[in-house]
Amino acid sequence: MDGMTREELLRLPAITDLVTAGKALGIGRTRAFELARRSEFPVPVLRVGMTWRVPTAPLLALLGLVD
| Per-state percent for the chain, helix, strand, coil, to nearest 5 | 45, 15, 40
Q: Using one digit for the tens of pLDDT, what is the confidence trace for 11-49?
A: 999 999 999 999 999 999 999 999 999 999 999 999 999
pLDDT confidence of residue 24: 96
C-alpha to C-alpha distance for 39 and 15, rounded to whole angstroms: 18
State if pTM tops 0.85.
Answer: yes
pLDDT confidence of residue 66: 82
Q: Kindly tell me if the per-residue pLDDT of 6 is higher than 70.
A: yes
More confident residue, 51 or 3: 51
26 alpha carbon, distance to own chain's centre: 10
Question: Where do the domains of the chain lie?
Answer: 6-62
